[in-house]
Structure 1
Amino acid sequence: MPQTGILPDHQIQTLWDEGAISAAIVPVRDQIQPASADLRLGLRAYRLRASFLPGPERTVADCLEGSDLVMHTLDLSEGAVLETGCVYLVPLQEALALPGDISAAMNPKSSTGRLDVFTRVICDRSAAFDQAPAGYEGPLYVEICPRTFSILVRPGDRLVQVRFRSGERAPTRDLTVSVDLQTADGPVGYRARRFSGVVDLAGVGAHDPANYWEPIHAPGGRLVLDPGEFYILASREAVEIPMTEAAEMAPIAPEIGEFRAHYAGFFDPGFGLAEAGGTGGRAVLEVRGRDVPFLIEHGQPVARLVFEPMTDQPSRPYGAAGSHYQAQKLKLAKHFR
């Protein structure tokens, strides 16, 4: 295996086969993606008073046991609603026993970010979210905080994904992403409606978008982001991820404006490629206004794509087995018709 790079699907499968990834329930179909793997919710959720990190001396279980962090426990086996504005911690079905040269990074799945569900994965003895150091051995937990829509979840639901890296992180290039606020037909984006109904994560295509989203337009290519509101917008650039690279959405300098421009950030090899059914897919931007109203304009830089090499090409490109987001333009989460 090469010294540096992101592991493709067949090497992730090898991690499963050799016990570096384990779960009581075998992986489901399509759980392993071209350069990542989905992680599944376990059987219970802990309603927390506050988010936390265990730090280098404690496990997550140490922090929960006998503390006042846990307000109550929810059984997810028959489905349970995670409510807006509340913080939950859910043990994941997968655990890790990584080799000494393999680390892991986690991120919300695309659909999770587009639902404005804030997630972060926690490892034992960790001082940072969404990271498992090389050689990590132990369980995984996901912190879940629905920001706009309450969500109905069950064991096995997949809100987050993991990407494995051999060696140190070695970005090869950046691509600045700007916002598209000019369109000849239809809205430039959507603003989430507050106090909407519950979103059932199992209900793909089952929700009327009119009950959850307000289409928005940007006369003259300008849009004012209201504080605390959540928007779905699209990039002006068409994005293509070659089979030899993977990419991750990252913020640009925070001093450029009063908004956050992404939640979910992994882009797998083959995204947007014509040979994989894409035509240069747009990056969908999950945008939240911050403290003051802020004017953004067409073509304004809002984020960047950071590319890393693959250790090998994946056996199939993103979208080859079907995808809700290949060749996308402006698009809501897969749960909406």
Structure 2
Amino acid sequence: MGTARLDTTDEPCGGILPSQAIERLIADGAIALDRPAAADQVQPASLDLRLGTKVHRVRASFLPGAGRTVAERLEEFTLHTIDITAGAVLETGCVYIAPLMERLALPAEVAAATNPKSSTGRLDVFTRVIADGARSFDQIPAGYAGPLFAEISPRTFPVLARPGSRLSQLRLRRGEPRLSDAELVALQQRARLVDDDAADVRGGVAVTVDLLGDGRGLVGWRAKRHTGVVDVDRPGAHDVSDFWEPIHAGRSGLVLDPGQFYILASREAVQVPPDHAAEMTPFDPLVGEFRVHYAGFFDPGFGHAEGRGAGARAVLEVRSHEVPFILEHGQTVGRLVYERMLERPRTLYGELATSNYQGQGLKLSKHFRAP
């Protein structure tokens, strides 16, 4: 497999590759696919990654380390291998490693990062991508050539997966696309990234939690334990009441119980302009010992008028660590980091039939029927 060079306009500050550049890399063989790409696999600024035909149940999470391959480490750590051709249930509390259908031969100037898809995060399926020689999860160095593997660990619901199931997504970067604080201030003034004129944009746009809720006082959902299986490939197939219990506004905030998983929403309406992409920081120990986001990518056009959105809430996938923690309305829970696109994507988020979360408020994953 040859190494492709990117045919894009020179951008000294760098940027995120749009859908048309990802398609060129696929055509050139820099992204190789075991099966032809699905019609909606390429998103405005990311590529969905698909499970292969097998998953390995392993003793524990691991990184291969410099000079070692994931396949070599699997020989050490695999307990048993599961053929998922006909579908297989991945159990809670277990760690699985799945070879992916996509492999890379990146140009020397292009690096990649991965994250769970939005629907994966909202199911509390902890998913990270590993590359050969990796010393960190979800980070793929510029010029990497080799296979990709997904680490999968369902935390709350057992899930049914099969070849082609998409739990993770990959984003490609050239150079340094992240905006400085000064650039972010200017973009907020020009494009109104969040509907708060006093928003704090130091180190990213501050996102706060909504604990007032809608007209019924609904502020979120708490996951039930010991439920049935969620089929990750069947949108709208499951009853909300079988998996979730509603949370309503209280007088003294919301006490996060360690070990419980919550779906909440941001107080602010968020938007991503067509020539930018965004990512939510998953955990900030300075604001509390809890995690607010597994799936961190926001595609160009999310919540934006040109993508037929009028602002959209950021859904927060919340889990407290070790100790109970009290969340209060308007408390800062994370930050949105904005990055430049190398080019405007051919299609924006919201213009795709699979844009399940455009214009969203408080919303569970696409697998559940609207309550």
TM-score with structure 1 length normalisation? 0.97
What are structure 1's unaligned runs of at least 5 residues? none
Q: Kindly, what percent of the aligned residue pairs are identical? A: 59
**Residues in 1 aligned to 2:292 and 2:306: alpha-carbon distance in whole angstroms:** 29
TM-aligned CA distance change 1:252 to 1:80, over 3 Å: closer
Following superposition, the deviation at residue 218 of structure 1 comes to 2.2
1:303 offset after TM fit, Å? Answer: 0.5
Query: Does structure 1 residue 301 correspond to structure 2 residue 329?
Result: no
1:237-269 CA deviation, whole Å, 9 max, x = no partner?
000100111000004630321211110000000
- Paired with 1:31 and 1:270, the residues of 2 have a C-alpha distance of 17
How far off its partner does 1:289 sit? 1.4
Runs of at least 5 residues in structure 2 that lack an aligned partner in the other structure: 1-7, 185-203
Q: How does 1:1-337 map to 2 (within 5 A)?
A: 1=8, 2-3=11-12, 4-65=14-75, 67=76, 69-172=77-180, 173=184, 174-186=204-216, 187-220=218-251, 222-251=253-282, 253-322=284-353, 323-337=355-369
Alpha-carbon deviations, 1:95-153, whole Å to 9, x = none?
Answer: 00000000000000000000000001000011010011000000000000000000000
Distance in 2 (alpha carbons) for counterparts of 1:257 and 1:263: 16
How far off is 1:59 after superposition? 0.5
**1:273: how far off?**
0.9
**1:155 maps to amino acid:** P
Equivalents in 2 of 1:202, 1:314: separation in Å? 26
Residue type at the aligned position of 1:234: A
1:31-60 superposed Cα distances (whole Å, 9 cap, x missing partner): 000000100000000000001001011011
Given that 1:21 and 1:94 are in contact with CA atoms closer than 8 Å, whether structure 2 keeps it comes out as yes
Question: May I ask how many residue pairs the two structures share in their alignment?
Answer: 335
Q: Secondary structure at the match of 1:219?
A: coil
Conserved 8 A contact 1:221-1:298:
no
With normalisation by structure 2, the TM-score equals: 0.88
Deviates more, 1:192-201 or 1:166-175: 166-175
Are residues 253 and 80 of structure 1, via their aligned partners in 2, closer, same or farther at CA, if it must alter by over 3 Å? Answer: closer
Does the CA contact (< 8 Å) of 2:125 and 2:153 recur in 1? yes
User: For residues 31 and 292 of structure 1, what CA distance do their matches in structure 2 show?
Assistant: 39
Range with greater deviation from structure 2 (229-238 or 22-31): 22-31
Would the aligned equivalents of 2:284 and 2:291 in 1 still touch at CA under 8 Å?
no
Residues 57/261 of structure 1: CA separation in 2 closer, same or farther (3 Å cut): same
CA distance in 2, matches of 1:131, 1:318: 24
